[in-house]
Chain A
């Protein structure tokens, strides 16, 4: 399927568990981003990547790890989930030169 796909759509995990959110895009966009969306905070950037093997921290990187071994994939890992990481997570991609983001459908993560 063409586009940007996030999985899973919903996830419930326990405190302390490791969980990985997947993001896959089919456009070969160079830029990819992970955001979390919480009431009152809008969209906050966790990590972003300008190309394969190039990643950088955003506003709220603590507790998260990313990798980008292939252009099309940008997984986000919560190494030891905490209740404060309960949120909706959005992945986005952007082609070089456009600045226009295309978003995935989001992953609603609940940490209990």
Chain B
């Protein structure tokens, strides 16, 4: 069975702190994709990144970075020098490479960045 676990329900940090959001997944597939989405207070869901199972290189995009480790089945997301605008709920998700493309979602981590 496929499953995504985001153990941190809520995180609160002070602006400029670094913060890591954890994501652990379970799948028997050898080919799969991992995703992160952001849901700011306005409510829309915004795609951040997709990573396939054959690419374990870390990804960096500005203050955002992602660490994919197959050995621990984790796909963690780090925000460096957090800002108030980073306050949002962040979802990790998993899909197989089959035709239905259904995403398996974690329950999300609510990040509050305080000034």
Partners in one complex: yes
Interface residues of A (CB under 8 A from B): 31, 33, 40-43, 45, 48, 50, 56, 58, 88, 90, 92, 94, 96, 98-103, 105-106
Contact A105 B103 (CB under 8 A): no
Nearest CB of B to A88, in Å:
7
Tell me if B50 and A100 are in contact (CB < 8 A): yes
Give Cα distance in the complex from A50 to B100, angstroms.
Answer: 7
Are A99 and B95 interface neighbours, CB within 8 A?
yes
Chain B residues whose CB sits within 8 angstroms of the CB of A103 once the complex forms = 44-46
Q: What are 12 contact pairs spanning A and B, CB under 8 A? A: A42-B91, A43-B91, A43-B105, A45-B102, A88-B43, A99-B95, A99-B101, A100-B50, A101-B47, A103-B44, A105-B44, A106-B43
Chain A residues with CB below 8 A from B99, complex form:
50
Partner of A105, one of B37, B43, B47, B50: B43
- 8 Å CB contact of A56 from B33, B45, B100: B100
Contact A42 B108 (CB under 8 A): yes
In the complex, are the beta carbons of B107 and A42 less than 8 A apart? Answer: yes
Shortest Cβ distance from residue B75 to the other chain A in the assembled complex, whole angstroms: 14
Chain B positions within 8 Å of A, measured between CB atoms, are 33, 35, 37, 43-47, 50, 91, 95, 99-103, 105-108
Q: Give Cα A92 to B45, complex, Å.
A: 10
Given contacts A88-B43, A90-B45, A106-B44, contact A99 B33 (CB under 8 A): yes
- Residues of B with C-beta under 8 A to A45: 102
Chain B: CB-nearest residue to A105: B44
Known: A45-B102, A48-B102, A50-B100. A99 touches B50 (CB 8 A): yes
Residue of B with least CB distance to A43: B105
CB distance from A82 to the nearest CB of B (A): 23
- List of A residues within 8 angstroms of B101 by Cβ: 31, 94, 96, 99
A42-B107, A101-B37 provided; 18 other pairs, C-beta below 8 A?
A: A41-B107, A42-B106, A43-B105, A45-B102, A48-B100, A58-B102, A96-B101, A98-B50, A99-B50, A99-B95, A99-B101, A100-B50, A101-B45, A103-B44, A103-B45, A105-B43, A106-B43, A106-B44
Q: A80–B35 Cα gap in the complex (Å)? A: 35
